[in-house]
Amino acid sequence: MATNILEVNMYRYNPEEDKFPYIKQYQIEKPAKDIMVLDLLHLLKEQDESISYRRSCREGVCGSDGMNINGKNGLACITPISSVLKKNKIELRPLPGLPVIRDLVVDMTEFYAQYEKIKPFLQNSTTAPEQERLQSPEDRDKLDGLYECILCACCSTSCPSFWWNPDKFLGPAALLQAYRFLADTRDLKTNERLEDLSDPFSVYRCHGIMNCVSVCPKGLNPNKAIGEIKKMLLKDKKEIITTDGAMN
Amino acid sequence: MTNYNSSNIKTLEFDALIIGGGGSGMRASLELAKSGLNTAVVSKVFPTRSHTVSAQGGITCAIQSADPNDDWRWHMYDTVKGADYIGDQDAIEYLCSEGPKAVFELEHMGLPFSRFENGRIYQRPFGGQSKDYGKGGQAARTCAAADRTGHALLHTLYQNNVKEGTNFLNEWFAVDIVKNAQNEVTGVIAFSIEYGEVAYLKAQSTVMATGGAGRIYASTTNALINTGDGLAMALRAGYPAQDMEMWQFHPTGIYGAGSLVTEGCRGEGGYLINKDGERFMERYAPNVKDLAGRDVVARSMVLEILEGRGCGENNDHIYLKLDHLGADVLNAKLPGICELSRTFAHVDPIYEPIPVVPTCHYMMGGTPTNINGQAFNRIDRTDSIIPGLFAAGEAACVSVHGANRLGGNSLLDLVVFGRATGMFIQEDLKSGGGVKSADKDDIDNALDRLNTLNNSDSGYETAEVKKELQQCMQNYFGVFRRGEFMKKGLDELQEIREKVDQLHLKDKSNAFNTSRVEAIELQNLFEVAEATAIAAYSRDESRGAHARDDFPDRDDERWLCHSLYDPLSKTVSKRDVNFNPSEVEAFPPIVRTY
C-alpha cells in the first residue's frame, strides 16, 4: 500500500498570510507511468489551488521552472520523478540564495541585473554590410555550448560564490554569456569587455566549485567558459605589460 | 475583495504599449525604443520564456545563400500555394520581399546562425518549398541556427532591447481592452502578477503581440502560456477575428507529450514510416513525399492510422525515421531534437525512430490587420481601421498564411510584421496620430471581469473546465471535421460557456497568484475556441488545414475568401482575399498538389 503513495514535501510561503516559510506535506497516489516533476506540480495544484510556481514551455527550453528538487537544482519539466525519488519522497524548494516571492517563485532581479552587466548584445560599430556578416563554420562552432543558455538560473543559484557576493560576482550564467560575446568573431569590443571583467570580484570569485556544471539542465559548462575568460584576462595583462615595457 | 474602479487604480501612460514579449512584440518594441517613443512591453512571463523560444527549424527567406539564384517571388509563389490561395497576396509579397532585410538585420544584431563553408547563413530544405514557381524542384530556403532558431532569435531580440533600453513590465498580465466612446482603443487593464497591483495602462497605440492559443486543444505543441489573450481581449471588445477555422496540425508532435519535432528533420533527410516500415508519403505526395505541405502530411498520417497501419501497441502513431542520417549529422544539425526525443519519447533518434502524431501547432487566423499592423473592423462590408489597436505575429491575421502556413514562415512573419508595425506607429505618432482619452465609465467597464472573478464565492473549478474545453475541441474540431459532429461540439461549448462565466477563484491573494491568471486564461481560451468552432462549422468546404469529411472538395466559387467572425452576433461573414500585389502578377488559384 504505502509504496503507491508519494510524499511531496513542499516549501510554502505566502507573504500575505505567513510570517515564516514552512514545509507542507502532500500525499498523492503514485502515477501509473513516470511523469515529470512539473506534471506532479500540476496534479498537486488541482488539489491545492494556492500552490505557486512558474512554468511556460514544459519542454526545457524556456527556463521558467528552475527549482531545487531533492536538494539539487533542475528544471521541473524535464526531470522525471523516477530520477529523483528517494524512498517515495520528493522535496521541492525554490532556487536557493534568491529572495522568495511566494512558494517556489523567486525574485530574479539580481540574477538578471548580473546578466545585463556583461552587455549581453553584439557590439560592432563598423558599417553593416548589405547582407550578413560572414563567419566561418569553425568560428561559429566556438559559440556552441554558450549561446544555448536559457537563463533558468539553476547554475548561479547553486554557486556558493554567487550566494556570498550576488551583487559583485557575476555568477556562472552571466559569465557564460560574457564569454559567448568574447568568443564571437563578429564582436569587436573584446578589450572593453575584458576590462569590465578585470576587477577582483566579477570573474575571480569563481573558485571552480563546479556546481554550475553538475546542475545545468542544458549540459553546458560555465566553468570552462570562466576558465577561458581567465586565460584571456591573463593574456591581456601580459600583452599590456609587454607593450608597456615598464614592468619588464 | 474590494472592487477596483477608475479612482482606486493607478494609471501608467505610454506612447505605445506592446502586449506580449515574444518575437513580434520585441521586434516592434525594438523599432519603437530606437525612435525615442515612450514604449512599454507588457509580458506575462520574462520575455525569453515566450513561446517563440520553442521554434526550432528556422526562418524561411530568399537570402540567396544556399542558392545564389533564389528569388523572393518563388518564396511568394510557395506561400500563396501553401495557403491554399486565401492568403492576401499584397501581404505575402511584403513578407517575402522585405524578408531578406529583416533576416540580415537579425544577423547584424548577433543572432548566431549556422553557417555554410563560405561563411554565409546556413539554409535547409523545408516542406512546400520550390524553385522556379514549382517547376525547378526542392529549394533550401530556411535559415537556421542548428535546431534552436527560435531560441537564438528570441534571445537576440531581448538582448537588443536591453541595449536600446526598452521599458519592460515583466510578469504583468493584461486583462481587458479599454475603449472610449468613439470605439477607439486607449490601452488595457493589467495587473502585476508578482504583487497583484492593478493598473490602467494608457497608450496612444496598443499592439497585441500575444501569440497563439494552441491550448484550446488537449494535444498541442504549444507552451502552457499560449492562451490567445490578445485575440480574446479583442473579441470581448467586440472586434472581429478572421479565418479562425484554420488551425495547423503539425505532422510531428512527440506521441504522448506533444513536444514539437521540427520539420527540419525531414528537410535533413528523415522520413515517416508506418507499422510495415513503408515510406507512405510516396503514395500521397509522389513528387516531394515527406516535404509536402503540413496539412497534407498530417492528413496522410491520420489516414494511415485510421486504416490500421499505425505503429505501436495500439496502432495509434507513426514513426519518424532519422537513424540513417548518422550520429554526426544528427548531433550537428538536430541536437535539440535528439535531446527532446530522449527526454520525452525515451528514444534515441540515432538508433531508433521517434513516435510522432499530428498535433495542434499554429493558429493561422487572428485579429485581421493590414500590413502596417493596424487592426480593422468590418462595417458595411468595408474594412474600417480601429484607431489605437494593432496586432502582429500569430495573434494577427494579416493574412500571410491563409489556410495553411509553410514551415519557417512564422518566424519571418514575426520579424517582418513586428518591424512594420513598429515603423508605422512611429511615423503615425510623430505626425500627430493618436486616440482620445477614455472616461471613467470606460475604465470601469474594462475592470468588470476582474472584479467578478475576484468576488466569486462559488462556481466551477478552472482546471476541470479547462480539460472539458480542450477535450471538446480535440474531439470535434481536429484534423478531420464533420458537420454533425461539430454541431455536437457547438452544443457542448454552450454548456462550457456557462461554466466559464462562473469560475470560482478560491485563492484571492495578491502575490504571484497563478490561479487568478489561469482562470482568466481559460476565459480567453474559450473565446478563441468558440470563434474557431463557429467558423469551422460555417465553412462547408475543405481547404488547407480545414478538412471536412462531408465536404471533401475545395469550393472556390463559394469559399475563395476569408471568414470573418463577429463576436457580437456570433456569425460568420465573408471577406475578399487580396489578389493585388504591387510588383508581381497575382498567382491565380490552381489545384494544389505536391
State pLDDT tens for residues A89-117. 999 999 999 999 999 999 999 999 999 99
Measured between alpha carbons, how far is B445 from A188 in angstroms, rounded to an integer?
Answer: 53
Return residues 78-137 of A near B (CB < 8 Å).
78, 101-103, 105, 108, 112, 116, 119-122, 124, 128, 130-137
pLDDT, one tens digit per residue, over B572-590 is 999 999 999 999 999 999 9
Other residues' Cβ atoms within 10 Å of the Cβ of residue B126: 27
Res B420: pLDDT: 98
Instruction: Looking at the complex, report in whole angstroms how far the Cα of residue A95 sits from the nearest Cα belonging to chain B.
Output: 16
Q: What percent of chain A has a predicted confidence (pLDDT) above 90?
A: 91
Band (pLDDT 50/70/90 cuts) for residue A239 is: low
Average pLDDT, chain A: 94
Residue A246 reports pLDDT greater than 90: no
Q: How confident is the model at residue A2 (pLDDT cuts 50, 70, 90)?
A: low
Looking at residue A247, its pLDDT comes to: 40
Give me the helices (H) in B431-461, please. 440-454
CA distances from B499 to A36, A83, B304, B489, B522 (A): 30, 39, 37, 15, 11
Minimal C-alpha gap between A247 and chain B (Å):
38
Q: Which of residues 300-339 of B touch A (CB under 8 A)?
A: 336, 339
Tens digits of per-residue pLDDT, B181-204? 999 999 999 999 999 999 999 999
Residues of chain B with pLDDT > 70: what percent? 100
- Closest Cα in chain B, distance from residue A158 (Å): 21
**For the whole model, what pTM was predicted?**
0.96
Cell 516571492, residue located: A101
Task: Establish if B46 touches chain A: CB-CB under 8 angstroms.
Answer: yes
Mean pLDDT of A60-75: 98
Is the pLDDT at A248 greater than 50, yes or no? no
By the CB < 8 Å criterion, does B372 face chain A? no
Tell me the chain B residues in contact with residue A108 when contact means C-beta distances shorter than 8 Å. Answer: 46
Cβ–Cβ of B118/A116 closer than 8 Å?
A: no
Q: Output the DSSP codes for B270-297.
A: -EEE-TT---THHHH-TTTGGGS-HHHH
Q: Pull the grid cell for residue B1.
A: 475583495
Residue B378, H or E segment? strand B374-379
Complex ipTM value: 0.95
Cell 570580484, residue located: A201
Annotated catalytic residue B419: no
Residue numbers of chain B with a pLDDT score lower than 50: none
C-alpha distances out from residue B586 to A88, B83, B372, B580, Å: 65, 14, 21, 6
CA angle B272, B344, B394 (to 5 degrees): 75
Query: Chain A contacts of B107, Cβ < 8 Å?
Result: 132-133
User: What is the rounded distance in angstroms from the CA atom of residue B4 to the CA atom of residue B450?
Assistant: 8
State the pLDDT at residue A237: 66
> Strands B318-321, B271-273: parallel, antiparallel or unpaired by DSSP?
antiparallel
Helices (H), B275-408: 281-284, 294-306, 326-333, 335-344
Beta carbons of B25 and B422 less than 8 angstroms apart: no
d(CA B468, CA A145): 42
Evaluate the omega torsion of the peptide bond into residue B399 and state whether it is cis, within 30 degrees of 0: yes
